[in-house]
Amino acid sequence: MSVSAQVLSVISAGILSFVWVRTPALHPYSLQLVATLVLLYFWVKYAAKKKLHHILPNALSFETSILAAALLLVIGYTGGTASLFLPLLHFLLFLSLFTLDAASLITLGLTIPFFLWSVEGGGLTSGGMGGPLGNGSLSTHTIATLLSFPALLPLLLFAKTQYQERLAEKHTLRVRGDQKIDMTMFITTFLKPKLYTMFQLSSYPAENKENIQKQIRVILEQTELMIGEVKDDGDEKIHEK
């Protein structure tokens, strides 16, 4: 999934939630849409052949956007910034460290307060648990809540950078470990037997000169092949990261 597609999916989730919550004809059916999104979330995981008990969203997929839309709908339906479910948005941002790229994470961090501000700024009355939505004025507490999301972005981006660096280090160590195993197998199954054969042939160097040279050529050829395979395999694994 490309970065642009992920950014668009996050924006689409915010727009869908805003339009649904702010439309009087659709607002009473918010929980039904949430249930539909939850079913869609698990269907996407099933279609991706992931184990359903792994409920967290996968990286670089639409799953985070679906989850974001469901949470925004629930919070918009149950009172906006006064909703008891509001802390789940902070958890969603933390979760997005592992599932979204930096651009999508920034987009989500800005979409959330914009959605909450839009919900608070209208005159729609909630049909859910939260009471009236959008009384036209914002309290100091509401403003602080809205600003808390973009204020978290620098910390989240720093944490994401550290996480990606750690992943890169682990990947490098794994590649080196694989190369070490390949080299060990090469030495034990090929090089050592060849050297032992050459040692035996060296007992009669004059008679076995041609055979010794042949063994040396084979060792040199296989060594070059081994070096090339290790290098190509390492480069391929680095690009797959």
Nearest by Cα to 62 from 133, 13, 110, 111: 13
Q: What is the predicted pLDDT for the residue at 236? A: 55
Concatenated DSSP letters for 185-199? HHIIIIIHHHHHHHH
Q: What is the mean pLDDT of residues 75-98?
A: 90
Q: What is the pLDDT, as a whole number, of residue 134? A: 47
**How is the chain split into domains, by residue range?**
3-138, 168-240
Indicate the DSSP class of residue 81: G
Give the highest mean pLDDT range of 126-140, 156-170, 184-198.
156-170
The yes-or-no verdict on residue 235 having pLDDT over 60 is no
What is the rounded average pLDDT of the residues 175-183? 77
Dist CA 139 CA 137 (whole Å): 7
Place 133 in a pLDDT band, splitting at 50, 70 and 90: very low
pLDDT at 131: 43
Residue 80, SS3 per DSSP: helix
pTM beyond 0.75, yes or no: no
Angle between helix 30-47 and 63-77 (nearest 10): 170
Q: What is the pLDDT of residue 229?
A: 72
In 3-state terms, what secondary structure has residue 159? helix
- pLDDT, position 31: 92
Mean residue pLDDT across the chain: 81
> Which is more confident, 130 or 162?
162
Whether residue 26 has pLDDT greater than 50: yes
pLDDT of residue 143: 87
Q: What does the alpha-carbon distance between residue 115 and residue 80 come to, in Å, rounded to a whole number?
A: 9
pLDDT tens digits for 110-127? 999 999 988 876 434 344
Q: Give the residue with greater pLDDT, 16 vs 132.
A: 16
Return the closest-CA partner of residue 20 out of 6, 31, 35, 9: 31
Number of CB atoms found within 10 A of residue 107's CB:
22
Binned at pLDDT 50, 70 and 90, residue 189 comes out as confident
Segment of 138-152, 175-189, 198-212 carrying the highest mean pLDDT: 138-152
Q: What's residue 51's pLDDT?
A: 61
pLDDT tens by residue, 28-70: 999 999 999 999 988 888 777 666 556 777 776 788 899 999 9
